[in-house]
Amino acid sequence: MSQLNPEQFIAVHHTEGPLLVLAGAGSGKTQVITSRIVHLLGTLKVPADQILAVTFTNKAAKEMQERVKRAAGAKSEGMLISTFHSLGVRILRRDIRRLGYKPNFTIYSDSDQSGVVRQALSDLNIDTKQFQPDMVRWQISMAKNRLIAPDQYPKLSTNPLEQVTAAVYPRYQHLLRAYNAIDFDDIIMLTVRMLEELPEVRQHWQDRFRYIMVDEYQDTNAGQYKLISLLAQGHGNLCVVGDDDQAIYGWRGADIANILNFSAERSSCKVVKLEQNYRSTGTILNAANTVIRNNSKRSDKALWTASGTGELISLLVADTDDEEARQVVEQLQLAQYRDKRPWRDFAILYRSNAQSRAFEEALRMEEVPYVLVGGQKFFERKEVKDSLSYLAVLANPRDEAALVRTINFPRRGIGGTSLLRLQQWSLEHNLSLYDTLGMADQIEGLSEATRKAVNGFHTMIRQELADFTSNNMASQATALFKRLGINQELYRTIDNPLQARKRIENIEQVINALAGFEERNPTAGLADFLERIALLEDNRRETDNDQPQDAVTLMSLHASKGLEFPQVFLVGLEEGLLPHHRSIDEDPEVAEERRLCYVGITRARERLTISRCLKRRKYGTWEERQPSRFLAEIPPELFEGGDTEHKEAEPVDMGMDFFARMQNM
C-alpha cells in the first residue's frame, strides 16, 4: 500500500458499491487492480471464490493472477481471474443443457464459422461469389455482439448484404445447433440469454461473485456490458477500470458509451481519476494531452509526470515513403549506437499494415534485426488446423467442420461433389454427417470408389473413437498421425521439401502443445485441450510481444496498445493515413483516429520521433500528401526546431556509409 499514490489508494480501498477508475495511459492501473484484490483477500477477509476479475486477453489474466498470487499467497486460491470468453464458457458448461445444448459443445473458430456460413448460403441457393461467406459471417458477428437474435435481425436490414444476412443468420444458427457447436460470439450471447431467462442460474452466479472487477472497460461491447451488469445486479460491488481516451476498437463492436455513461447510470458511483503517469516524459505527455483534448466526448483528465520534461519530439519530413523509411532507420541506428541500446528498445508504429513494406526493406538493407508483429498465428496455419481437426473429431464426432476438413486429408478420393452429396443427404434425413458416413452404401450418386473411401474413413474414425483414451493423449495422437501418413502427404504435395519440413515441424508442435497441456492438467481430456486452443485463438487483440530475440519491433497502432518502448517512431502522420481516409468518411470528427494517435504517442517512454511524407505512390502514380491534422494539434514548442507544418523534406545523404556518419557525430 505504501507504493500507491493518493488516488490509487482511494481506488483500492473503495470496495463497496460501484466504482469507476479512469486510468490514463501508464498510470498503474494493473497495480491498482491487483492491490485491490489483495486488500479484499487480506484486510477484508473476503473468500477468494467470491472475487472475479475480468480482462480481455489470456496474457493479461495470467499476469494479473501471478501478481496476486505473489502478494496474497494461498489466500488467492479459488479466485477467478478470467477473460470474458473463458468466464462465459465456465457458466455455459454448467447449465447450457437448459438452452438445448449438450455440455460437450464445440467452439468454432473463424474459419470453421465461415464453412458453416458457406453451407448455409449453399442451402439457400445464394451465390457465394456475390456474397462472400466471410462478409456474411462478419455481419452475423456484429449482430451477436449487439445481442441481436436471428428473429430480430430482419427488422434492421437496409441493404443487400444485410438482407442476405437476415436470411442466412437463422440457417447458420440452426446448423450450429445441429453440430452441437457454438461460435465465439455465442459464448457471450448465450451466457447473457441464460442469465436473463433463468433466475435461479442468475442468482447462483450473483451469489458466487460478490466482488467484480473489469479491466479495459472502454473496450466492452453490448454483450459484455450486459453480462457484467447481470452478474453485478444483486450486490452492486462492481469496479471497472479503463480509459476512454484509449478506446480504439469501435470498428469491432466496442462501445465507448459503456465507460462514459457508467457513473451516470449508477447514482452512488464513486469516480477516481488516475492521472499521474509513470511511463513517459513530460514532453511526450504534453503532446498526448493537447491532441486528445480536441475530442469533445471524453472524460476530463490530463496526464502528468514527476519524472521531468525530457527530450523534445523529433520530426522527420521525407520526400517519399521510401525516403521516410531510410530516414527512420538511419535515426534508429544512430540512436542505438550513441546510447548503446539493444534493438528491442525501438518500435516503429504505423496506422496501416501495408506501411511496413518500406520499413522492412530499409531494415533488411541495413541488416538491422526486426520482428513484424501481426503475422499469421500458429494455430491458423493450414497443417496445424488439419491436425487439430482430427483431434476435434475424436472429441466430438458431430463436429462437421472438423469432419469436412479431415475427410480428404490425406487424400482419399472423396471430392467436393461427393462431400456435398453426403451433406445434403444428412440434412434430408436429419442425421449428423458422421452417422451419414456410415451409410454410404445407401446414398445414391456416389461412385463405388467413393463409397469404399467413405466407408474406410468412417471405419477408421469409429475405431479411433473406441481406442482413444485420456491417458497419454500426445503419444496416441502421434501414432494416429503416423498411421494417417501426414508427413508423406506433405512431402508428396509440396514441391519444396524445406517448406514441407517446416509444416511437419508445426504439426510436431501441436503434439508438443498437447503433451504440455497433459502435463499441466493431468485430469483433463481432449475436449479441454481443444477448448483451451479455441479460447487462445480468440484473442484477436492479443499478440505475442514477448520476443526473445533482440530486434526492432514493427507493429500497427492497434497492436501496440498496452505496450511501451523507450524510443518510438510514429510514422506516416498524414491526412488519409492517420487519420485514415475511411475514418474521415465515416466520422468527420475522427474521434477514434485521434485516440489511436494518442495511444501511439503514449507508447513512448523517453524519446518520440514522428515522420511524414510529401508524396506517396498510389496505384503506381505519385500522390501529394498533406500533414495530419494531429500534427497541428501538438504545440510547435514541443518539437525540435518548432515547425510542424512548413518544414521541407531533408535529403538523406546515402553516399556516406553508416559507419562514416557515426564517426562524424
Assess whether 246 carries a catalytic annotation.
yes
Q: Which residue is listed with cell 484484490?
A: 37
CA distance linking residue 269 with residue 263, whole number of Å: 5
Q: Is 604 annotated as a binding residue?
A: no
Q: Residue 405: phi, psi to the nearest 5?
A: -70, -30
Assess whether 30 carries a catalytic annotation.
yes
Q: Is 29 annotated as a binding residue?
A: yes
The catalytic position among 216, 219, 518, 593 is 216
The catalytic position among 7, 215, 322, 464 is 215
Assess whether 216 carries a catalytic annotation.
yes
The catalytic position among 7, 8, 29, 625 is 29
Strand, coil or helix: 250:
helix
The catalytic position among 50, 139, 246, 281 is 246
CA distance linking residue 375 with residue 378, whole number of Å: 9
Cis amide leading into 579 (omega within 30): yes
DSSP run (H or E) holding 476: helix 473-484
Cis amide leading into 6 (omega within 30): no
Q: Is 30 annotated as a binding residue?
A: yes
Q: Is 354 annotated as a binding residue?
A: no
The catalytic position among 30, 163, 276, 478 is 30
Task: Tell me the pairing of strands 19-23 and 270-274.
Answer: parallel
Could you please report the per-residue DSSP string of 489-547? HHHHH-S-HHHHHHHHHHHHHHHHHHHHHHHH-TT--HHHHHHHHHHHHT-TT------
Q: Is 561 annotated as a binding residue?
A: no
The catalytic position among 59, 67, 385, 603 is 603
Q: Is 28 annotated as a binding residue?
A: yes
Crossing angle of helices 497-520/382-395, nearest 10°?
Answer: 40
CA distances from 73 to 39, 43, 210, 554 (A): 13, 14, 21, 38
CA distances from 391 to 213, 258, 291, 408, 489 (A): 36, 40, 51, 15, 18
DSSP run (H or E) holding 463: helix 448-467
Task: Tell me the pairing of strands 621-624 and 615-618.
Answer: antiparallel
DSSP run (H or E) holding 53: strand 51-55
Per DSSP, helices labelled H in 79-129 are 84-95, 110-123
- Is residue 556 within 8 A of residue 596, CB to CB? The reply is no
CA distances from 126 to 118, 165, 425, 426, 498 (A): 9, 11, 19, 20, 41
CA distance linking residue 393 with residue 407, whole number of Å: 10
CA distance linking residue 401 with residue 382, whole number of Å: 14
Assess whether 65 carries a catalytic annotation.
no
Q: Residue 147 contacts by C-beta under 8 Å, 6 or more apart in sequence?
A: 189, 192, 222, 223, 226
DSSP run (H or E) holding 182: strand 181-183
Q: Is 282 annotated as a binding residue?
A: no
Assess whether 587 carries a catalytic annotation.
no
Assess whether 31 carries a catalytic annotation.
no
Nearest to 454 by CA among 469, 436, 480, 467: 436
Task: Tell me the pairing of strands 19-23 and 238-242.
Answer: parallel
Q: Which residues are annotated as a binding site?
A: 23-30
The residues annotated with a catalytic role in the active site are 29-30, 215-216, 246, 603
Q: Which residues are annotated as a binding site for ATP?
A: 23-30
